[in-house]
Each structure stands twice: as structure tokens, then as C-alpha cells.
Structure 1
């Protein structure tokens, strides 16, 4: 199964020892055992998922929206910055769409998707045959070996600079995608969606300062012609699903405006 491809990246969330396959479970040398779900993912969270974890409806909406190619420019931009990687991790990976897209351009690489939602991890487990999927909380600590990642992806997801620095080897790349002020402006205005945090890019750079060096940045803009169903999926696949908002009743032209920021883990 795809999880086997990523075993070399994983660490026991209890004692940090390496994990190996033991039948239908993952097992460390200290005897900590974690059952592999029938769908192929494994829960290494050690507790119930938080209230803001993606629901089944959110995961399905994201799969439909991303599967339709509406955010393909993000996939292409990520691919353009990854060269000869062997171990790629995506945190807050959701359905694993972006990691799977990057793996398609890196035939010798293996991937690991992490997400705090068991339902998202279940979907990601089927996203690519060289990608494992685990349930984990970026804030609480990632069940990943120190220095294991050649490339780390973080697309519209929470960031933990300390953990990111720990799991990235020296010289590895961190690719972060964040929304710019104009992202989904028409949908936000029409439907009363959540706003975008001010000065987001500067805050990102400050938060990673010291652990990573900024080496490149690209603004990516495109326009999407969305029917009402696609607008509904766009709203339902993210945090807006937990908040009151208007309903999509007609097609809508929506501008996408995101920033790809590339950082490198310094070589000491």
C-alpha cells in the first residue's frame, strides 16, 4: 500500500523511534502500535480530532473543486520549484491534491501527507501510489523523523516554524502558498466570506526568520469561471464552512490571487 512508501519518514508520536510495518499496524521498537485503517491511512494523533477539522462534506467539496482543475496554476507553480527531490512532505494536506501533483513530476520521490482530519487523511491515502497519509496535528508536533524531508509543502495550511525546521534537512526547501488581498474577492463580497489577514506575507517571512531563508517569491493570478455548484464547493471546502455566509445561486467570475514563497533551510 502507499503508506509503505513513506515509512522511512515516520517517527513514533510517543517516543520518536522509527516505525515499521507489522501486518496491519505500524510498530516502533518500544512496542507502541498504531493500527492502519482499511482505507490505508494511519491515525498518529493520539486523541480526538479538533472541532475545526475538515468534515466529510468539506473533504468532498474540496475533492470536487480541486479535481475540476480550478487551482491547477498552484500545482504547476509548485512543480516548477521542485527538482530531484526524494522525500516530500505536505502538512495540512487535506485530500493530498497538491502533493500528488508534485509527485507526478518527481518519479523517484516518495511523499507523506499529514492532516488533523481523519476524513481528509482517508481521502489522501488514495491520492497517489507513492504517498502515505497520516492523521497528525502540525501544532502539537509532527510524527516525522528529524531531517527527513527534502521538500516541505504548506498550501493554505497552518505553519509551525519550529517543527518545520526540525523535520527539514539542511538545504531543503519549504514551499508556502498564501492568499493575497485580491484572492476570491468577488466571492467574498457577494457571499460575505471571511476576510484575509492584513500583511500576511510580511508576517510569514517574520515567522520563519532564523529557521529558514527566503530565496524566491511569485505572485500567481488567474480568473475562474465557476458555475453555482463550483462556487458552493469553493465556499464549503474551507474555513467558511464553519461560518454563516450567503448561498451561491448563479455562476460567478472569481479572481484567484496567491503567493508562492520559497524558503531554504540553511546549511550550517
Structure 2
């Protein structure tokens, strides 16, 4: 699948286009990036991995928990939202649907930019009708194990996914998440190694948000879909275990991080979780509290909680999952690529 994705990449050093040379990606300036045996490519500039990268233990906890299907309702909601952005009622993208579902292209210049992007994406000629539309491109910024991107690609019959995460441990798993996905080590806080105006949708699930870069890589009419925890998420575990909670400033930080975008739609996704003691440890271990609390202390808190409520090893504890799924589109005054 990597061969189908290279045309959308940009060298992280010089921003030139890239091509495949055996087990290496190269650009015209001579920069080269090896394809790992697990199928991913590190496009991280510099020799040091940022301290925000998830450890192997955190990634393993996330993969095990997600593998149980507890967050499947969230993955399904995100996948359906992306599908509705990309395909019409007849199962394919067309101009009428694009103008209805996306913010209408504002003028002839924007339409020309859209069609130019289609050509650059390998369409061969400017798009004349929906049957010859270029493949949808979904970018997952901070993809983790690729769990949510895989759900999206299963919902969208055509198209490819590009998973970016700063953790090589996560990207190794993301490389195997779906046959139409490519996985890359990259820091979302830095310029993304993606060409201008090629992404139909950027998804961001519990990850950093780089608003200027999201605007740059999105095509006209594209959207950013952001998932954040709601105030009620993981109650009563947050209170009982002393976990980090959603603070009142989170909404303001979200808006600031996506300056130049308008939030055009929001929905709340809520469902109950029935968690075993091991699964409680898993959901805690993959969350932000794992960064700010020693593992031994978290283990002690969980054990104390289970003892207080006399929860046995095979018994379940009910907790609430609560998320905001928000759709952002470029503001009319800032739709032009900066």
C-alpha cells in the first residue's frame, strides 16, 4: 500500500516530492528514509524522539483495551461521520453532494484550486465527473495504533489512509491496521510530511492539533474531525481513582489550536462500559494519567478502589464513556492555503 501513498508525501526536510527506491524513500535533494521491516517509515527529523511519544507499555495497554471493542461505538460514530463527508447517498462522491455537505466552494478560484489539487493527487486530468474522482485521502494525526483510522477505511470503500504518530511503537501497529493505510513516524507539532491540499479529512482522536498544518494539507471543502473526552468521561473512575479530569479550559484550548477554523457540527457520543479489573487498569494505563502518575501508584489506587467496593477478579464495574465529536471547516476568510 505504501506505493499508492508516496505521491501524497513531502520530504520532511525540504518539502520536495518523494519516490520509492527499493526499501527507501527519496527526494530530489538526496534525503532518504528507510522502510522498516514492519512496513512503516520514520519521517521524524532529528535523532531524538520527543518525550511525548507513548512508550511500548502504553501502546500495548491501548492495543489490548481497544481490541476488546469497548470503544467500538466511538469508532463507528467517527467512521460514519467521515463516510458522510466523502460519499453521497448513492455511495459515491459527486459535485452536488460536495457542495451540499462541505462548505460550498466560495468562488471560481477555489474551484480551480480544488481541481488542480486533484491533478496533483494523480487524477491525471481535472475531474469531469464523479466516476473519475480521485481517491479520498484521510489523514490521521496522532494515530496511535491505527484503530480509528482502520474503522474509517472500512466505512469508506475507496481511498487511502495516512497514519502519523510520534511513537514508533504505535506506528508499528498502525502499519498493520488496514490494507489501505500507510504509517509514518512524525511529530504532529511540526510541519507534516504531506503535500499541500491533498487531504479530504483529517481525523484527530485525543491527539495534539496543529491548526496551520491541518489547513495546509486539507483540500478546499475538506474537514478536520476532532474527538475529545467530555466532562463525564470515565465517571466514576476519575473520581474514585483520582485521575486527571477534563478541565474547564479544554474548550478554549481546542478553539485556540484550530484558529482559522469554524466548528460547524458537534455531537456527543456516550455509552456504558462494563470493565473487569484488568480492563480498568488498561483504560487508565492508556490515558493521560499514565503520564503524570507513577505506574505503581496507579496500581495501588486501582487495588484500593476494588477492595473498597469488594470487586472480585471476574466481576465488572460500570463506567461511562463520553466524548465530543466535532467537525471543523476552514473559516471563509482563511480558506486559502497560507
When normalised by structure 2's length, the TM-score is: 0.75
Distance 1:199 1:73, change over 3 A: farther
Checking the alignment, whether the CA contact within 8 Å between 1:9 and 1:112 is kept in structure 2 is: no
Structure 2 unaligned blocks of 5 or more = 88-134
User: In structure 2, how many angstroms separate the alpha carbons of the residues matched to 1:117 and 1:136?
Assistant: 8
Q: Secondary structure at the match of 2:200?
A: strand
1:60 aligns with 2:60: yes
1:228 match: 277
2:28 match: 29
1:261 aligns with 2:329: no
| Structure 1 position 180, deviation (Å) | 1.1
1:247 match: 302
| Structure 1 position 107, deviation (Å) | 1.5
User: In structure 2, how many angstroms separate the alpha carbons of the residues matched to 1:63 and 1:71?
Assistant: 11
Which one has the bigger helix percentage? 2
Structure 1 unaligned blocks of 5 or more = none
Q: Secondary structure at the match of 1:184?
A: coil
When normalised by structure 1's length, the TM-score is: 0.94
Distance 1:207 1:56, change over 3 A: closer
List aligned pairs for 1:43-192, cutoff 5 A. Answer: 43-47=42-46, 48-82=48-82, 83-84=86-87, 86-192=136-242
| Structure with larger Rg | 2
- Runs of 4+ in structure 1 over 6 Å off: none
User: In structure 2, how many angstroms separate the alpha carbons of the residues matched to 1:254 and 1:31?
Assistant: 53
User: In structure 2, how many angstroms separate the alpha carbons of the residues matched to 1:43 and 1:88?
Assistant: 19
Q: Secondary structure at the match of 2:149?
A: helix
User: In structure 2, how many angstroms separate the alpha carbons of the residues matched to 1:61 and 1:74?
Assistant: 18
Checking the alignment, whether the CA contact within 8 Å between 1:93 and 1:155 is kept in structure 2 is: yes
